[in-house]
Amino acid sequence: MKTYRSTHLIKPEDLNHHQNLYAGRGIEWMVEAAFVAAALTHGDSSGLLYRNTHQFSFNKSVEPGEIVSYYSTVVRAGRTSLTVRAALIAEQSGELRAEGYVTFVTVKSHTHELVAHGLELDEAVSQEEQAWRDKAERFFTG
């Protein structure tokens, strides 16, 4: 699957009281980046609805002035759902700062009735991508 990138500069309005990236802003950007990946993969942004954030974990704080990118990849395709892994990477160091998974459902745009999307994932290109897919699958199988 293709990976999509969205980049942000960490500004004062993005900070919490500890002077690092506010988790709420990080999650907001993660959901937005995941939506972009799901919409471009699905081909119809009006036919997608947010369903769930399964996880969002920070590994290390993000400081003001840093440039970060979300790298988002569709890692699971259910009958009416798409799950996206979004990784928050510090661009200067290449460090993984946070990661999470977001699921969207495909719907008829006017009625929001669930509709099958007919998408299938291609083969995983690496063991790492397969691990992301396995992790996403566990959100649905317990």
The 10 Å Cβ neighbour count of residue 43 is 9
Q: What is the pTM of this model?
A: 0.94
Domain tally, the chain:
1
Per-residue pLDDT, 135? 96
What type of residue sits at position 14? D
Is the alpha carbon torsion for 98, 102, 5, 8 positive or negative? negative
**Shortest CA distance to 32 belongs to which of 5, 55, 65, 57?**
5
- Taking each continuous run of H as one helix and of E as one strand, the counts in the chain are 2, 5
The predicted-structure confidence for 24-82, as pLDDT tens digits, reads as follows: 999 999 999 999 999 999 998 899 999 999 989 999 999 999 999 999 999 999 999 99
Q: Which two tokens stand for residue 121?
A: 């994932």
**Which CATH number is 111's domain given?**
3.10.129.10
Domain that holds residue 97: 3-141
